[in-house]
Amino acid sequence: MTSRMLEMTWQKFGEKMRNGAVVILPLGSTEAHGLHLPLGVDVITSTGFAELLAGEINGVMAPPLVYGYKGETGGGPIYTGSIELNAVTLINLVHDVLEELVADGAKKIFIMNGHYENEMFLLEAMDLITRKYPDVKIVESAWWDQVDDELIEQIFDEVPFPGWTVEHAAIAETSLTMYFRPDLVHMDRFVEEEQIRVLNYHVSPLKREIYPSRGAPSTSRSASRKKGELMVGKIMQGFLKVVKEEFR
Ligand SMILES: [Zn+2]
């Protein structure tokens, strides 16, 4: 049986809400991810996890939000195809979707984020909603929040871990995309580039000269579907623990 809201009738969705089902809202971005990955990586990964989680807990996966906040270390605006929202738009978009879900009876909502730069604005939308509706609980998490040191060691066995801010279009995202949508990964197009120079400050406009020409700030050498599978298994355990802790 489908857990996708878009594939349910309104009656079925209403029934799930009356039964207290958790609604999982996947979010990502439309952003360049090197030459070997598609623009939708952040949506593909968050939707992949959201659907798995919805299946495990008999929840509902709300339609994914495919645009996100401006990428920084990913170099969003530098590359074509990155369609980015202003923060106010993102806060309002997420706020309005959450409020509609609440109006339809949702009391337990899990925001599954797939794009690093979204996070603070999601927290803002969640806060605005739960102040207004105190009987509603909203959780936010991203797959990288569920990766522990042991898993980091397993994934970054050949290449040192560069930190999550620059792990963009790199080993973790590539391995996960190989798991969820292997047909969209083209490792033959991957070219080893110099690691992005990470600044210890923020600057606007972005410094074009520190970004790699192909759009992958860290290497994806040693990415594999096997690593993707390992990650999905462990990350799902993490998400299930969060659900048990917060929505039992
Ligand atoms: Zn990404």
Q: In this model, does residue 194 exceed pLDDT 80?
A: no
Exposed / middle / buried, residue 46 (Cβ in 10 Å: 0-12, 13-18, 19+): buried
The amino acid that residue 72 corresponds to is: E
* Tokens matching residue 90: 């993102």
Report the separation in Å between the CA atom of 220 and the middle of ligand 1, taken as the mean of its atom positions. 13
Query: Rounded mean pLDDT of the chain?
Result: 94
pLDDT at position 132: 98
Report the separation in Å between the CA atom of 20 and the middle of ligand 1, taken as the mean of its atom positions. 32
Active site residue 183: no
CATH T-level topology, domain 5-247:
Rossmann fold (3.40.50)
pLDDT at position 198: 81
Q: In this model, does residue 99 exceed pLDDT 90?
A: yes
Active site residue 173: yes
Report the separation in Å between the CA atom of 64 and the middle of ligand 1, taken as the mean of its atom positions. 15
pTM equals 0.96
Alpha-carbon gap, residue 177 to 52, rounded angstroms: 15
Domain ranges of the chain: 5-247
pLDDT confidence band for 108 (50 / 70 / 90): very high
Query: b or e along 222-232 (b: 16 or more beta carbons within 10 Å of the residue's beta carbon)?
Result: ebbbebbebbb
Mean pLDDT of 19-39: 96
Active site residue 96: no
Active site residue 168: yes
Residue percentage of the chain with pLDDT more than 90: 79
Q: Is 155 left (phi over 0), alpha (psi -120 to 50) or beta?
A: alpha
pLDDT confidence band for 37 (50 / 70 / 90): very high
Report the separation in Å between the CA atom of 133 and the middle of ligand 1, taken as the mean of its atom positions. 32
